[in-house]
Structure formats: structure tokens, C-alpha cells
Amino acid sequence: MADRFPVRKAFPMTLTLSHGPLSAAPPPTVNYRLTGPAHRLFWHPFPRRVRALVGGETVLDTRNGRLLHETGLLPQLYVPADDVRTHLLRPSDHTTECPFKGQAAYWSVDAGGRRVPNGVWAYPEPIAGAEWLAGWYALYWAAADAWFDEEEEVHGHLRDPYHRVDARRSGSTVRVLLDGTTLAETARPVLLSETGLPNRWYVPPEDVRRDLLAESATRTVCPYKGTAHYWSFTGGGEPVADVAWSYPEPLEEATRAGGFLCFDHERITTEVG
């Protein structure tokens, strides 16, 4: 991806966001009731090796990482002390207080000629109910120059094992309109279903009015689908920024939608037959 393009991170739903079962507003269509605190913690093993590099040096390398799923937040990787290169850490005076986990201590990272202030934290004496955090370290995602899931570099954030993407060829007819102007019409779309998000229709580029669109500089990174390129409506009247997106080089889960365009459902009309 060219450096000149601004990049945003896309944050899809997990167990703890939107209407996930551990979110602040879980779905009502269940036959159980969650008792206890409204802010929930779920501690679960991450199934693969994870490495993080700062300044070209490995700061953590683990096959024993755990994800902390926490209400309203994306899952956070924690690593046992033995899997952290603690000689690269420098104690900091900075602390923070979490009412659900306790007081966090911080360390700055000095690695490969690069210094990251307060890039690592831990809970030396976690509060009751989160005792299992003792002895585990976390590194801010943005503090590292590169993250690896096994041998594959990861962008955006680590994939949540409870998040799923399915792309299916469909025989439905899809017509996309913006203020009465047809932007796309197809009988061979791909329907992409993603955990916690509405279904999205992806249209082959040949079935899109490309003369009405212009590629913008916007990019977003999704750890499940890849880097999205955006398109704005420029076909007359009031321009509409970033009304569509595509994944020119999708990750494996979204391969069938590669190069297809998806339109922002909140700003356009989609007719499906």
C-alpha cells in the first residue's frame, strides 16, 4: 500500500461489541441471563504463535498468548512474562487505574534504536475477579512496527477466533441507486456475511457505472478481508465521498469478493430481487 494514502482501521464486531453476547447490550433472544457486572471480562487462549517487532527486534514471541475480551473493547493480547524480552523494557512512572482489572504499571520499549514510551503494561496486583492477569504483559498494537500470526504479517489487529467472514456467489439481482441514479446492476453478485454486521452485496466491476465514480485516497484495513480502496460518486450534482469500496487483494476469507465493489448501505438504495 502506498504511503501517500491515509489509512483507517476498520473495527468489526466481536463478542464484546455491538450486540455480541458479552457486550453492554447483548441480544434479548436467548434462554439465559447473564448475572454479575455489566462490564465483562473473558480470558481465552489465542491458538497460534504471535510475534511483535519494534525497531527490527523481537519484543514478544509466544505460543501461549491469551486474548482478553472486554465489554466495549476489541480483544487484547496478553503474553506470559517468559515470552517477553524484558531486557528491552524500561520501567515507567506512568500508571493507570481500571475499575475492572486494577492498577496498571507501564514500561517503555527500547529496541533497535527506537523508543516507545509506555508501550507495554501489566497488572502486577490485579483486583479480585481478574487475578489471572498477574504475570501477563500487553503491548499496544501501534507500538510495534510489525505483528506476525505464525509467519504471516497481520494488519489492523489480531483476528478474533469468534469472528467469521463468509463470501457466497448469489443468483439474486441487485440494483444500486443514489438519488434515483443507477450506480450498479447485476445478476451475479457476491453476498458477504460477517459476524455482527449486516450482509453486504459485492458487485462485479463490469456491472458498475465506473464513469460515475472516482477512486479516492481513503484506505481502511480489515484483518479479516484486507485493505479496502474507496470510490466517490462524481457523476454530477453533489459529490458523495467514499460511497463504495473494494478489496483488490483480499485475504482468503474474502477472495470471492476480490475486485468487486460494495456500496455504503446507509447512503444508497439497494434493491434485491
Query: Rounded distance, CA 160 to CA 153, Å?
Result: 15
Q: Which domain holds residue 172?
A: 165-272
pLDDT tens across 93-108, in order? 999 999 999 999 999 9
Output the pLDDT for position 14. 67
107's grid cell = 514500561
pTM of this prediction?
0.80
Query: Rounded distance, CA 10 to CA 230, Å?
Result: 13
pLDDT tens across 7-26, in order? 444 444 567 777 777 777 77
* Residue 6, domain member (yes or no): no
Query: Which residue(s) pair with 139 in the sheet?
Result: 120
Output the pLDDT for position 160. 87
Output the pLDDT for position 140. 96
Last residue of a domain, one of 132, 154, 176: 154
Check whether residue 150 and residue 16 sit in a common domain. Answer: yes
Check whether residue 129 and residue 33 sit in a common domain. Answer: yes
* Residue 238, domain member (yes or no): yes
Check whether residue 95 and residue 25 sit in a common domain. Answer: yes
Q: Which residues of the chain fall below pLDDT 50? A: 1-12
Paired sense of beta strands 66-70 and 7-9, if any: unpaired
Last residue of a domain, one of 120, 154, 188: 154
The single-letter DSSP state of residue 60 is: E
Output the pLDDT for position 21. 78
Whichever domain contains 93, its CATH number is 2.170.150.40
Query: Rounded distance, CA 119 to CA 144, Å?
Result: 9
